[in-house]
Amino acid sequence: MNFSVNFAGVEMKNPVTVASGTFGSGAEYKDFVDLNRLGAVTTKGVSSVPWQGNQTPRICETYGGMLNAIGLQNPGIDLFIERDIPFLKQYDTKIIVNVCGRTVEEYIEVVERLAGTDIDMLEINISCPNVKAGGIAFGQDPELARQVADKIKQHAEQPVIVKLSPNVTDIAEMARAAEAGGADAVSLVNTFTGMKIDINKRAFALANQTGGLSGPAIKPVALRMVYQAAHAVKIPVLGMGGISCAEDALEFIMAGARMVAVGTANFHNPAVTMEIIDGIAEFMEKNGVKDINELCGCVK
Amino acid sequence: MSDKRKCTARIESQIKLAEGIYSMWLGFPEDLRIAGEAVPGQFISMYSSDGSRLLPRPISICEINAPANLLRVVYRIAGKGTEEFSHIEAGGSIDVIAPLGNGFDTSYAEEGKRVLLIGGGIGIPPMLGLAAVVKGEVTAVLGYRDNSLFLKEDFLPYARVYVSTEDGSEGVRGNVIDTILHYGTEADIIYACGPLPMLRGIKAYAAENGIKAQVSLEERMACGIGACLGCVCTSKEKDAHTNVNNKRICKDGPVFDAMEIEF
């Protein structure tokens, strides 16, 4: 039974990774999961200098999901290279580094610092709804998205995944723009911009007023968007959005995702990725599927 | 490799202590040494069995029975999740990750030291487990809203107990600082848990009087294990892990030296 996938030229032992921001750089999860079993670890967004992030409260629960407005707090690329990459290199898994920035120059600075480091892929976050500049601004305009992809590709040593925002009218157009800019893959969806009000305090539940919605509540919409994107481009798609069990992951794979990422479900059960990997393998065995790639995009 | 996990705890007992305040003893599987690892000031992540509620409710540990592998939590109904917990009867079960975070540093409470434990409202429960283990001459100041003095009797074997109530129906009318001043309580070390305005008052009082103070903070959490950066507080110095002036309440706390954080 073949469980491995080739994702934009990178051989992954299985199609399961984690969604950026839900897993740190893996250190906090090492007591709960065997990191060696993940196809890849996708690290939390890292910028050229340390970012403080937003005020608290940064998170709140919503029905079947949650809102977050962390604001991309991160230790900066220098400490990331010094500490987080060596940590992950102890494990037999691929490393996808999520990169964030306020300007194209900031993205490029991080991408250039990562050239020559022993990581496998870059994921460019042009879709964070919680920071004022950069982030989502690039992810909502196809021409800007194409330009960002194009400029980053000129400086990137590793294959580039462009992470798309679902807060757009036409996700297929955004996926095509990333492809036209030279992206090696796209990942989607990032979170949906949402809001919650605390009626007892007559105030926003989050200090940032709005936050990104994730969790099972978004899964049907995310799945539809992954399907649309997968049918719009030739480059591979990393699908995510509310995946919390093997059945969810299989839906995304059948919709056309070559790989899948598990995000918010890690908060409900830190070992959920292991259960998902086992569950996909069980499904394949039970249904006589010899190669996971047979399932990719099998529903048309 | 993996050696920690979310597990299913049995509910040994559950009783209502006061309006909206419940006490629950949890028992853990034999193969998991949980109570033996736990120290006062740590918390446990408690999970709803309703799939629409994903995130853990972080609840402080009230008492620890290591030989029997039991933990006690005393919690307030703050929403639908905790309300669900309050309906689970003895013999039922709940999914938890335990123990989490860092507890109080009891090395400050040596023999001969005057140890002051201050709990306000639902910040009282973690002070009970601490009262049971600290050395020295222990005074507990417990701040309540009214005369529903939950857990007060439980402190009596371990500490001299002073009570304040906001409505003046028991003890000193006012807050915990009013009570400390009323009795002229002196201390070499203060441990505290309660609402932020109370903790701010204690930090100021400790600073004025040159007393070491450790406080336990709370915040909404998502992962509970230090990964998501949802529950940070502002630190005075740049934190070595985050590389900014933020510490993670779940992983670096919930107990901090009062002077090292801004609140």
pLDDT in tens, B84-142: 999 999 999 999 999 999 999 999 998 999 999 999 999 999 999 999 999 999 999 99
pLDDT at B66: 95
Which residues touch A50 (CB under 8 Å, ≥6 apart)?
Answer: A74, A75, A76, A79, B242, B243, B244
| Buried residues in A272-296 as b, exposed as e (16+ CB within 10 A) | bbbbbbebbbebbeeeebeebbebb
Contact B4/A at CB under 8 A = yes
Q: Rounded to an integer, what distance in angstroms lies between the CA atom of residue B171 and that of residue B143? A: 9
Contact B225/A at CB under 8 A = yes
In A, which residues are within 8 Å of B219 by CB distance? 56-57
Tens-place pLDDT, residues A66-85: 999 999 999 999 999 999 99
Give the CA dihedral B71, B73, B79, B83, nearest 10 degrees: 80
What is the mean predicted confidence (pLDDT) over A287-295?
97
* Tokens coding B160: 């001299």
Q: What is the pTM of this model?
A: 0.95
**pLDDT at A134 exceeding the cut of 70:** no
Q: In whole angstroms, what separates CA B21 from the centre of its chain?
A: 14
Q: State the alpha helices, DSSP H only, in A115-236.
A: 136-139, 142-155, 171-180, 219-232
* Distant-in-sequence contacts of B148-152, Cβ < 8 A, 24+ apart: B148/B18, B148/B19, B148/B21, B150/B17, B150/B18, B150/B21, B150/B74, B150/B124, B151/B17, B151/B62, B151/B74, B151/B124, B151/B125
Residue of A nearest to B81 (CA): A61
Handedness of CA B187, B191, B195, B199 (dihedral sign): positive
Per-residue pLDDT band for B1 (boundaries 50, 70, 90) equals very low
Which residues touch A32 (CB under 8 Å, ≥6 apart)?
Answer: A270, A271, B2, B4, B5, B225
In B, which residues are within 8 Å of A32 by CB distance? 2, 4-5, 225
Contact B53/A at CB under 8 A = yes
Q: Which CATH architecture has domain B7-100?
A: Beta Barrel (2.40)
Spell out the CATH class of B219-255+259-263.
mainly beta
Mean pLDDT of chain A: 95
When CB atoms are compared, the residue of A32, A75, A266 closest to B2 is A32
**Which amino acid would we find at residue B187?**
A
Pairwise CB contact (< 8 Å): B223 & A28:
yes
**Which amino acid would we find at residue A142?**
P
Pairwise CB contact (< 8 Å): A267 & B223:
yes
Q: Where are the domains of chain B?
A: 7-100, 106-216, 219-255+259-263
B106-216 adopts what CATH topology? Rossmann fold (3.40.50)
Residue B83 belongs to what H/E stretch?
helix B80-86
When CB atoms are compared, the residue of B54, B225, B232 closest to A215 is B54
**pLDDT at A263 exceeding the cut of 80:** yes
pLDDT at A230: 98
pLDDT at A131: 62
What is the mean predicted confidence (pLDDT) over A249-273?
98
pLDDT at A139: 86
What is the mean predicted confidence (pLDDT) over A48-68?
96
**pLDDT at B174 exceeding the cut of 90:** yes
Residue of A nearest to B47 (CA): A268
In A, which residues are within 8 Å of B229 by CB distance? 44, 53, 58, 70, 73
Quote the minimal CA–CA distance from A143 to chain B in Å. Answer: 32
Pairwise CB contact (< 8 Å): B225 & A29:
yes
Q: Which CATH architecture has domain A5-55+74-193+214-294?
A: Alpha-Beta Barrel (3.20)
Q: Which residue has the tokens 């201050």?
A: B118
Percent of chain A with pLDDT over 90: 93
**pLDDT at B2 exceeding the cut of 80:** no
What is the mean predicted confidence (pLDDT) over A114-121?
97
Query: Is residue A102 within 8 Å of A96, Cβ to Cβ?
Result: no
Per-residue pLDDT band for B76 (boundaries 50, 70, 90) equals very high
ipTM (interface predicted TM): 0.93
Residue of A nearest to B78 (CA): A200
When CB atoms are compared, the residue of B52, B232, B243 closest to A63 is B52
Which residues touch B68 (CB under 8 Å, ≥6 apart)?
Answer: B27, B35
Per-residue pLDDT band for A21 (boundaries 50, 70, 90) equals very high
pLDDT at A138: 84
Per-residue pLDDT band for B4 (boundaries 50, 70, 90) equals confident
Contact A79/B at CB under 8 A = yes
Quote the minimal CA–CA distance from B3 to chain A in Å. Answer: 5
**pLDDT at A129 exceeding the cut of 90:** no
Residue B247 pairs with which residues in a beta bridge?
B233
Tens-place pLDDT, residues A145-156: 999 999 999 999
Q: Rounded to an integer, what distance in angstroms lies between the CA atom of residue A31 and that of residue A34? A: 8
Per-residue pLDDT band for A135 (boundaries 50, 70, 90) equals low
Q: Which of B32, B44, B47, B55 to mutate to test the interface with A (most CBs of A within 10 A)?
A: B55
Contact A61/B at CB under 8 A = yes
Per-residue pLDDT band for A111 (boundaries 50, 70, 90) equals very high
Q: What positions of A carry a catalytic annotation? A: 128
* Tokens coding B4: 């920690």
In A, which residues are within 8 Å of B4 by CB distance? 31-32, 270
Tens-place pLDDT, residues B10-57: 999 999 999 999 999 999 998 888 999 999 999 999 999 999 999 999
Give the CA dihedral A130, A131, A135, A141, nearest 10 degrees: 80
Contact A73/B at CB under 8 A = yes
Contact B84/A at CB under 8 A = no
What is the mean predicted confidence (pLDDT) over A196-202?
96
When CB atoms are compared, the residue of B4, B231, B243 closest to A32 is B4
Per-residue pLDDT band for B5 (boundaries 50, 70, 90) equals confident
Tens-place pLDDT, residues B191-211: 999 999 999 999 999 999 999
When CB atoms are compared, the residue of A56, A265, A267 closest to B219 is A56
DSSP A105: H
Pairwise CB contact (< 8 Å): B6 & A56:
no
pLDDT at B20: 96
Which residues touch A67 (CB under 8 Å, ≥6 apart)?
Answer: A59, A60, A194, A195, A196, A205, A206, A210, A211, A212, A213
